[in-house]
């Protein structure tokens, strides 16, 4: 992978650059960022960097000076300038320094993507012997395969990337398996990789949830399915010392069915609530079992329940559950086994809904409910178990609207707001991609990470201005702003007046 460093005195620009470009898809990795030229120069001295994206007008050291200084120890450094100034002198100076492009803000994404592609091409031509490391290739494989299974990649890009990485997807059929464990380890992933090394029709990767995914490719539906189950059962035996939950999606055509098989394997994972012993859950077998409930039975319409959960309308949710059980009893030919399986399905859907909202799994909430359903003798007992699951779900949402990851992140910010903090460094602590962490943070707080930390720092500064005799410059440093000018700018943005004027009002 080629390495990229970002420099801009507006943190939201840096955060935006993380989000608007799919860097791994270009074979690029952001290795750092800075908010002024001096900090950037110090960081670049200790980093291997191929591409520098930098603003021109910045405090302490401007972008042109940064380029000149950085070229002394990175002579082959490729530079892309980002600037809010459409001035000839800037452009002329930039061209003299041999930059790849001079892009005006607001950034045109297509132009930036084209510039990156051209820059990568130049780097490739200048380093014909350049090889990707095994780690780089692994990241690219995971990214490409995950995007394929979630319909987030165009066919032309998929073909290009799979050819580059020598990934063969030319078998007519496939099935996708998901392996999940509470304590993933290197031996766990190595065992799967060893299988792939021995059999090229097996493609393993790790998805964004941390699950080990295996794509089985085969030419014959029945034989391929049997082989996949044999391999998975063998894996289950080999990993007996580590509880591994293995699920297999349906057999689909490779050309357009992979996302469906992947989604089914993920859904089948939820049925492990019903199994204590090691077992490989086959989605098609689960589906057949459900299909034999009753010829007259209809599929559960979950959307009304989903809306009531999100609205936290517990009373209406209980009424909807009672109505569903009453309606089911009126269907001709319905069996007790069908009603029980519907109750199980509703329990699983509550669990999945909560996981989707909170971005974290809480199986312990529903364990007793599954036991109640399996032991129930009356329909009223089944309905009561499902209503209890509804209550637990809404109570969990009322108690805590944020996922554990975001809670940890907020606690980190509150404890260390005076220190340099970025999504890049924090994401490494939580082993989450910075772009995904940024999206999750904004979804759960309705603010970007940069907005939140600036507001928090300014609130702390207001307290210090009110309660301490410290000078404005000292307060700026104590709340995490090493550049007083930038502190003034942020304070006025969020308070409406300068910190000096604010102190004068107290």
157 and 250 within one domain: yes
Residue 354 lies in a domain: yes
Which of 102-106, 137-141, 292-296, 305-309 shows the lowest per-residue confidence on average (mean pLDDT)?
A: 292-296
Residue 26 lies in a domain: yes
Determine the distance from the C-alpha atom of residue 90 to the mean position of all C-alpha atoms in its chain, rounded to a whole number.
Answer: 38
Task: Pick the last residue of a domain from 226, 250, 283.
Answer: 283
118 and 39 within one domain: yes
* Percent with pLDDT over 70 in the chain: 89
154 and 75 within one domain: no
Tell me which residue range forms the domain holding 258. Answer: 136-283
DSSP one-letter code for 22: -
350 and 231 within one domain: no
279 and 140 within one domain: yes
Do strands 28-34 and 51-55 pair parallel, antiparallel, or not at all (unpaired)? unpaired
Residue 431 lies in a domain: yes
CA–CA gap between residue 409 and residue 421 (Å, rounded): 11
| CATH code for position 240 | 3.30.70.870
Is residue 198 within 8 A of residue 286, CB to CB? The reply is no
Span 3-14, average pLDDT: 88
Is the pLDDT at 128 greater than 50? The verdict is no
**Residue 274 confidence class, pLDDT cut points 50, 70, 90:** low
Residues 155-194: pLDDT tens digits?
888 888 888 788 999 999 999 999 998 777 777 888 898 8
Task: Pick the last residue of a domain from 126, 150, 175.
Answer: 126
Task: Pick the last residue of a domain from 80, 106, 126.
Answer: 126
482 and 395 within one domain: no
Residues 130-153: pLDDT tens digits?
445 565 577 778 888 998 999 888
Which of 4-13, 225-234, 237-246 shows the lowest per-residue confidence on average (mean pLDDT)?
A: 237-246
Q: Tell me, what's the pLDDT at 297?
A: 45
Residues 303-328: pLDDT tens digits?
899 989 988 899 999 999 999 999 88
393 and 408 within one domain: no
261 and 158 within one domain: yes
188 and 90 within one domain: no
Is the pLDDT at 68 greater than 70? The verdict is yes
| CATH code for position 61 | 3.40.50.2300
Number of structural domains the chain divides into: 4
| CATH code for position 498 | 1.10.10.60
249 and 173 within one domain: yes
Residue 357 lies in a domain: yes
SS (H, E, C) 330-347: CCCCCCHHHHHHHHHHHH
Residue 371 lies in a domain: yes
Q: Tell me, what's the pLDDT at 136?
A: 59
258 and 142 within one domain: yes
- Please count the residues of the chain: 506
Comparing 94 with 343, the larger pLDDT belongs to: 343
């Amino acid at each position: 992978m080629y390495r990229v460093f970002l420099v801009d005195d507006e943190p939201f620009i840096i955060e935006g650059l993380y989000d608007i470009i799919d860097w791994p898809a270009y074979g690029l990795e952001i290795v750092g960022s800075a908010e002024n030229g001096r900090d950037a120069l110090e960081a670049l001295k200790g980093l291997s960097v191929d591409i520098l994206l930098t603003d021109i007008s910045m405090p302490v050291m401007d972008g042109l000076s940064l380029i000149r200084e950085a070229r002394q120890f990175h002579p082959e450094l490729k530079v892309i300038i980002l600037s809010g100034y459409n001035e000839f002198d800037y452009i002329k100076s930039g061209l003299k320094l041999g930059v790849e492009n001079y892009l005006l803000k607001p950034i045109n994404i297509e132009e930036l993507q084209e510039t990156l592609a051209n820059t990568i091409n130049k780097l490739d031509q200048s380093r014909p012997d350049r090889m990707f490391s095994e780690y780089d290739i692994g990241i690219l494989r995971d990214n490409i395969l995950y995007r394929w299974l979630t319909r987030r990649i165009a066919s032309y890009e998929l073909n290009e990337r799979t050819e580059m990485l020598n990934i063969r997807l030319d078998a007519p059929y496939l099935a996708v398996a998901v392996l999940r464990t509470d304590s993933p380890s290197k031996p766990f992933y190595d065992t799967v990789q060893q299988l792939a090394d021995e059999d090229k029709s097996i493609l393993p990767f790790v998805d964004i949830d941390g699950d080990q995914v295996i794509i089985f490719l085969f030419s014959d539906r029945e034989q391929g399915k049997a082989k996949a189950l044999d391999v998975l059962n063998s894996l289950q035996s080999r990993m007996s010392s580590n509880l591994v939950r293995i699920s297999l999606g349906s057999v689909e055509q490779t050309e357009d069915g992979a996302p469906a098989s992947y989604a089914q394997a993920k859904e089948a994972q939820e049925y492990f609530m019903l199994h204590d012993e090691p077992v490989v859950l086959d989605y098609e077998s689960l589906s057949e079992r459900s299909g034999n409930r009753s010829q007259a039975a209809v599929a559960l319409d979950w959307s009304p329940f989903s809306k009531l959960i999100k609205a936290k309308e517990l009373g209406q949710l209980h009424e909807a559950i009672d109505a569903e059980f009453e309606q089911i009893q009126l269907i001709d030919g319905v069996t007790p086994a069908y009603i029980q399986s519907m109750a199980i399905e509703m329990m699983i859907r509550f669990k999945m809904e909560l996981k989707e909202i909170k971005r974290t799994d809480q199986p312990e909430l529903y364990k007793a409910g599954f036991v109640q359903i399996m032991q129930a003798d009356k329909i009223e007992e089944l309905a009561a178990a499902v209503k209890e699951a509804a209550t637990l779900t809404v109570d969990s949402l009322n108690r805590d609207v944020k996922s554990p990851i975001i809670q940890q992140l907020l606690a980190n910010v509150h404890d260390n707001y005076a220190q340099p903090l970025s999504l890049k460094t924090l994401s490494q602590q939580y082993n989450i991609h910075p772009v995904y962490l940024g999206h999750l943070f904004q979804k759960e707080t309705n603010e970007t990470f940069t907005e939140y930390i600036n507001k928090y720092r300014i609130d702390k500064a207001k307290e210090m201005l009110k309660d301490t005799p410290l000078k404005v410059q000292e307060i700026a440093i104590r709340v995490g702003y090493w550049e007083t000018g930038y502190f003034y700018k942020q304070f006025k943005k969020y308070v409406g007046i300068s910190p000096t004027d604010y102190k004068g009002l107290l």
